[in-house]
Amino acid sequence: MNLHVSADIWQPIRLTLELAAITTVILMIVGTPIAWWLVRSRAWWKEAVAALVAIPLVLPPTVLGFYLLVALGPSGPGGALASLWGARTLAFTFPGLVIGSVLFSMPFVVQPIRNAFEAMGEKPLEAAATLRASPWRAFWTIAVPLASPGFLTGAILGFAHTVGEFGVVLMIGGNIPGKTKVLSVAIFDYVETSQWTEASVLALGMVVFSFCVILAMMLIEKKMSRTAS
């Protein structure tokens, strides 16, 4: 096969993978305590927090993107943060994209982890407590290994969803090559400017990638149900 695609096709791919990896790591760190709290807490407003976390599932990305554009800007908290190092805004920056992606992909990580913690039930932790394990130790030696399929699912979904993210980056990215021009925006650009070869190479790659992700999820699920029975 002899495909003549421009060399800069690799730049958005690299950038996207970087963004997805960083976002996933942050989401595992931030999402786990949130999921844990959502399972263990008895606060009456717990479900309100759960709903807030899940909002990006139904919110149009452009809505989130627009709010982010304002929030990251000079009159929002993002601008205040940026002024610490003399910048005016967090929009059009890689850290800005990370913030957007973390919010946008949050439900895809928190939900599977929460489900896994819930499926585990109270019993293992109660047993650990009677053996005088500290809650911290019980969490690391019992809860985390038992919920590991949930962590795996969350990581894969969070990563994949960030790779596929479009609306939010389009709104806050500014389309800067090497900095904010991610895969989905690059595909959109190529389509708009009738560069079909580049567009279809990237688009086909996304189809294959998505297929692999779904397949991986199904295999994990199958393995889980086998070990459970």
Partner 1 sequence: MRSMRFVTAVLCAAATLLTGANAFAASANVAVAANFTEPAKEIAGLFKAKTGHELVLSFGASGQFYTQIKENAPFAILLSADDERPKKLVDDGLGVAESRFTYAIGKLVLWSKDPNIVKGEETLKANAFNKLSIANPAAAPYGAAAVETLKALKLYETIQPKIVQGNTISQAFQFVDTGNAELGFVALSQLMPNAGGSRWLVPQSLYSEIRQDAVLLKASAGNEAATAFLTFLRSPEARAVIEKFGYALDPKSGT
What are the residues binding partner 1 (CB under 8 A)?
69-70, 72-75, 79, 87-89, 91-92, 170-171, 174-176, 188-189, 191-194
- Closest approach of Cβ 173 to partner 1, in Å? 8
The Cα–Cα gap between 182 and 135 comes to 42
Q: How far apart are CA 130 and CA 2, in angstroms?
A: 67
Angle between helices 94-120 and 10-40 (to 10 degrees): 40
| CA neighbours closer than 13 Å in the CB half-sphere of residue 135 | 3
Distance in Å, CB of 71 to partner 1, minimum: 10
8-state DSSP, 45: T
Q: Which is nearer to partner 1, 50 or 87 (CB)?
A: 87
CB of 59 to partner 1, least distance (A): 18
Continuous H helices in the chain: 10-40, 46-54, 61-72, 77-82, 94-120, 123-130, 135-138, 144-146, 148-164, 167-172, 183-192, 196-228
DSSP 131: T
The smaller minimum CB distance to partner 1, of residues 194 and 225, is found at 194
**Closest CB to partner 1 among residues 163, 169:** 169
Minimum Å gap between C-beta 56 and partner 1 is 20
CB of 182 to partner 1, least distance (A): 13
Q: Closest CB to partner 1 among 39 and 91?
A: 91
CB 105 within 8 A of CB 162: yes
Q: Decide whether 14 or 88 has the Cβ nearer to partner 1.
A: 88
